[in-house]
Amino acid sequence: MGAVAANSGRRRWRRWFLAVALLGAYPVFVMVAVYAQFFAAGLPGGRNGPADAYRHTLASAIVAYTLSPRCVDWVTQVMERDGQGNAARAMDAHNNRIGARIGATAGSWNSMQQAVLAAVNRGAIAARSPEQITWLAPPAWQERLY
C-alpha cells in the first residue's frame, strides 16, 4: 500500500505542477501576442499616449476573445483600481473596457486585431465616450515603457 500512496502523491504533484505551468503560460502568451503587434504598429506615446492605449486595448481584447470579458474586468479592478487614483489609470481602465467589448464580439483573431487598431486610429486625447479610445495629452507621454 505504501507504493500506491506514493504514486498517488506524485500524480497529485504532477497535476498541480501542470496547472501552475498552464496558468503561467497564459500571461506569457498574451504579452507575446500584444508586443508583437505593439512594436509593429509604431505608434507614439509608449506610456500615456496612443501606443499605451493600443497596448491596453489589444491585451484586453485578447483576454476577452480567448477567455472572457469578466477576466478583463477582474484584471482592471486589480491592476488599474478600476480607473481610480489618477488620469493614467482612468485611461487604462477606459481602454480595457473597450478592448473587452471588441474581443468579446470579434468573429476571428484577425478581425479582433484589426478592430483594435481601427479603434485606436479613431481615438483622441481625453475622449469621454465609452466607445472611443482615449489617451493623455502629449506632454504626459513617455516613450520608454519602464
What pLDDT is recorded for position 89?
94
pTM (2 d.p.) = 0.85
The CA distance from 10 to 135, in Å, is 50
Residue linked to cell 477567455: 67
What pLDDT is recorded for position 108?
98
What pLDDT is recorded for position 26?
94
Query: 135: which strand partners?
Result: 125
The CA distance from 16 to 29, in Å, is 20
> Which string of DSSP letters, residue by residue, matches 76-96?
HHHHSGGG-SSHHHHHHHHHH
What pLDDT is recorded for position 4?
59
DSSP state of 135: E
The helix or strand, by DSSP H or E, that contains position 139, with its residue range, turns out to be none
Low-confidence ranges of the chain (pLDDT < 70): 1-7, 144-146
Q: How many Cβ atoms are within 10 Å of 68's Cβ, its own excluded?
A: 14
Give the helix ranges, DSSP H, for 1-146: 2-41, 50-66, 69-79, 87-105, 109-121
What pLDDT is recorded for position 35?
94
What pLDDT is recorded for position 61?
98
